[in-house]
Amino acid sequence: MTFRAWWIEKNEDAEGTTQQTASLTDLGPAALRSGDTWVDLAASSVNYKDALALTGGAGIVREWPLIPGIDVVGTVRSSDSGLWTPGEHVLLNGAGLGESRHGGLAEVARVDGEQLVRVPQRFTPTQAAAIGTAGFTAMLAVLAIEKHGVEPGDGPILVTGAAGGVGSVTIALLAHLGYEVVASTGRGESEGDYLRHLGATDIVDRHELSDEAGKPLQKQRWTAVADAVGSTTLANALAQTQYGGIVTACGLAQGADLPATVVPFILRGVTLAGVNSVDAPHELREEAWTRLAQNLDIDLLDEMTEVYALADARSVADQVLAGSVRGRAVIDVTQ
């Protein structure tokens, strides 16, 4: 058995300089590491982490060589876990895929059966991959906002990085649940209609939040924030959150720094809640995917999705890093 996969390697040139390369190649089963379940893959996606891995970005790949792709969607071929039978449709997001474990940008995967989640019957493999880690992360943020006690009618919720994958799904979910959603983006002219179609009631230019960290306390604007950007954007969002509100943080598209103070926390009782999709426990994964099946508009999901062939993954990665991808980029690994 041979299969196609993107293969990331690290080599040294004649001068001793380390270089990371990514190529589409044919591999055999011996290339896959341990795992009790073999999955014939149908689809994956290109997330921000995948884009960094495919283009040589530092800090993502931790085991060499590696198959990238933090999303896996496919059909069980065989399993020694006792949990799955051949033919069942399964998925996995994060859990070290594409970082320290071989991921989904391939035709075959070998994973631990106990980590897999059954694909909800409502979704096709392409739709499950379109949701992927981005949509899974978005649902985790929405769950955190709900569990904090924020209800529709309490006030506007700000979504940063709104035109990206996490932001797009977050807007669609919140709007479906009846929340008032304000989208922050630097592509308001080109993507404003798209974001309003997803459910945003207003658009804020990202430069209002991202250019510099403002005062520690600013005008109270948001009952909650779903942030995928970090840095000064997150600092200003915290300073603008209403008393007792919650800010969820799941990304660092602008940067990993946080030029903020403790003032919003101790004077306004603001909660900063981290959202970690990689290490989410299985029970939370099941809850999130159950809610995605209940609360995500499939028509909107399809409209925010573009599908590419496996060979296109590297060029899609460039587009993701350039910020030119709207919504979700799915890779059909069978093409």
3-119+304-332 with 133-274: one CATH topology?
no
* Confidence (pLDDT) at 19: 85
Q: Which two tokens stand for residue 286?
A: 């099941």
Determine the pLDDT at residue 197: 97
| Nearest-angstrom CA–CA distance, 73 and 128 | 7
Under 8 Å CB-to-CB from 231, ≥6 apart: which residues?
210, 252, 254, 255, 256, 257, 258, 259
H/E stretch holding 109: strand 108-111
Q: CA distances (Å), 7 to each of 31, 42, 282, 311, in order?
A: 10, 18, 28, 12
Distance (Å, rounded) from C-alpha 263 to C-alpha 65?
A: 45
* Class of the CATH-defined domain 133-274: alpha beta
The predicted structure's pLDDT at residue 9: 95
* CA atoms lying within 13 Å on the CB side of residue 237: 35
**CA 235 to each of CA 1, 89, 212: distance values in angstroms, whole numbers, following the listed order:** 51, 41, 9
CATH of domain 3-119+304-332: 3.90.180.10
Please list the rounded mean pLDDT of every run of 10 residues in the chain (335 residues): 95 81 96 95 96 92 96 98 98 96 98 98 98 98 98 98 96 98 95 97 97 96 98 98 98 95 98 97 98 98 97 97 94 97
pLDDT of residue 57: 86
Kindly list the domain boundaries of the chain, sorted by start residue: 3-119+304-332, 133-274
Q: End-to-end alpha-carbon separation of the chain, Å? A: 18
Q: Which two tokens stand for residue 152?
A: 């529709």
| Nearest CA-CA partner of 162 in 233, 223, 244 | 233
**pTM to 2 decimal places:** 0.96
- pLDDT for the residue 17: 81
Tokens of 96: 């070290």
Residue 13 pLDDT = 76
User: What is the identity of the amino acid at 56?
Assistant: G
